[in-house]
Amino acid sequence: MGTHEECKGSTPLLGDAFPEMTVQTTRGIMELPKALSGKWFVLFSHPADFTPVCTTEFVAFQKRYDKFKALNCELIGLSVDQVFAHMKWEEWIKEKLNVEIQFPIIADTGKVARTLGLIHPGKGTNTVRAVFVVDTNAKIRIILYYPQELGRNMDEILRVVEAMQIADKEKVAMPANWPNNEIVGDHVIIPPATNVKAAEERLAKAKAGEFECYDWWLCHKKR
């Protein structure tokens, strides 16, 4: 096993451009992020093929693949396994669970995982359960990490993709548990005013019924 410095890689940060890379996948060679230009994508790593939690995750992702595509969002899996292992695992899932995996899986030698900071120094060559949500400009917008013991919630990943798209398009913020927030329901949050005049205008607009406010800094509206 390598040293901590050799394994940890340089994890990209929110807002960074997704690193350019050429990868071998179960659907052929892909140049990322160029191959998905104009699309959002979710790149998610899993510790290894033919493992129980990862199998449940891949089935869950595939069951929601159409919903991701409806959001102009693609899925890409990744682990430090050969493409042949990925292909045999796909075959097993189709044969035993009657689910056909239709999105590509990156066959990594470890280079991609190190580039994205996915190798935990205490876990050998296994990648952590990471999720990178990348927008149409190839910017990393969300990064999620899970331990090997915990499978991901794919409905939450769907939710964050949809929420970020709405936030970008409508220049709003999304409340906790959107669209089922305990205070404002399915409304979206209007960014708070940054000066006195804007705050006064905000309250005046609220009185006129353009949106609702608890105070000048907490205003919301229906989409």
C-alpha distances (whole Å) from 183 to each of 21, 173, 175 are 43, 14, 9
**Torsional sign, CA 12, 17, 22, 24:** positive
CB atoms within 10 A of CB 117: 19
C-alpha distances (whole Å) from 118 to each of 50, 110, 125, 208 are 19, 9, 9, 51
21 alpha carbon, distance to own chain's centre: 18
Vertex 9: Cα angle to 17 and 76 (nearest 5): 55
Set 54, 73, 213, 219: catalytic member: 54
Active site annotation includes 219: no
Residues with catalytic roles: 54
